[in-house]
Amino acid sequence: MQSPLPVRDGVNATRLRLPDEGPWTTAMDYMMHRWGHIDPQGIEDRFDAGEIVGEGGAPLDRATRLEDHTFIWYYRTLPPEIRIPVELDILHQDEHLLVVDKPHFLPTTPGGTYIQESALVRLRNQLNLPDLIPMHRLDRMTAGVLLLSTNPETRGKYQVLFEKRQVQKEYECVSAAEPAPEFPAVDFPVVVRNRMTKSRSYLLAEVIEGEPNAETRIERLETFDGGASADSARTHPARLARYRLEPHSGKTHQLRVHMASLGLGIVNDAFYPELLDKAPDDYTRPLQLLARGIRFVDPISNQPVEYRSRRVLSEAAQTRR
């Protein structure tokens, strides 16, 4: 459903569905029920200023009846955010697409405590592209190639490519050169297939019984000395390896789960194979997972295209100095 309010400061207006019935007479009564304990004066001021609107952009006031609208839109009050000390690099830009090299620690889209400090909002503001929309997502801790649509009129053509799995993605990671002792040896390249599920109420994705819905081809590219570094949470492997990962599906945390299932948890992964206590971001120890490349036949030019990250995983770079 199209918002009647434009993007402001790089952020979309929030949409709220009003209940069909309840003990509330007005739309403002319901908003007070939801958020009045946080900022009751702010809610009243927004209604008085006509900053809360319904379908077609009609402004609501304090007396607007609950049943007059199904959806309403408004701008959230955004808390101040500390800038994440990382930068986005632009790999390609044209009238249809923007391709960027996303750094570790920066989320793709706004959410939770990260609103202005997300790749999408930064880019909308930096490039004055309010219609910018990501075509896929990278985890906050994953770096690499991110594809965004700049043109609403052609956006659907690119969305179809993702829906039909006509986009090939390639990742790299750094992990131990050999599986943990309790795991069997691995004959590379290997294809991992299983059934994964992820609920919104639980941080981790899980492998369950059933028909496989997640598949990744994993190839070991090189091995090298991991050095003597260590952390208090888990021992840093003495021998590391760089792996190429080719997912044939797109489940949440799929690559991290599949590497951990082989006894090869990705270096600096705070989730798999073991969920560590939450700690402040350590920008010197990013998750060693990179979206290296993405390729597809461009639906506008009908020509094959490929975009490659220029980033290097820090563990692999350090060992070559």
pLDDT in tens, 172-191: 999 999 999 999 999 999 99
Q: In the chain, what is the greatest distance between 2 CA atoms, to the nearest angstrom?
A: 70
For tokens 């290296």, name the residue: 292
Please determine, for residue 86, whether its predicted confidence score (pLDDT) is greater than 90: yes
pLDDT score for 192: 96
Local confidence band at 79 (pLDDT 50, 70, 90 cut-offs): confident
pLDDT score for 231: 47
- What residues contact residue 24 under an 8 Å CB cut-off, 6+ apart? 30, 33, 66
Q: Residue 73, class by beta-carbon neighbours within 10 Å (0-12 exposed, 13-18 middle, 19+ buried)?
A: buried
CA quadruple 221, 253, 205, 87: dihedral, nearest 10: 130
Q: Cα separation of 214 and 248, whole Å?
A: 7
Beta bridge partners of 101: 89, 145
Please determine, for residue 140, whether its predicted confidence score (pLDDT) is greater than 90: yes
Phi/psi-derived region of residue 263, left when phi > 0, alpha when psi is between -120 and 50, beta in every other case: left
pLDDT score for 318: 67
**Backbone dihedral angles phi then psi of residue 129, each to the nearest 5 degrees:** -125, 80
Whole-number average pLDDT of the chain: 93
- What residues contact residue 278 under an 8 Å CB cut-off, 6+ apart? none
Global pTM value: 0.90
pLDDT score for 236: 64
**pLDDT digits over 234-293, tens only?**
446 789 999 999 999 989 999 999 999 999 999 999 999 999 888 899 999 999 999 999
One-letter amino acid of 56? G
What is the pLDDT averaged over residues 57-68? 95
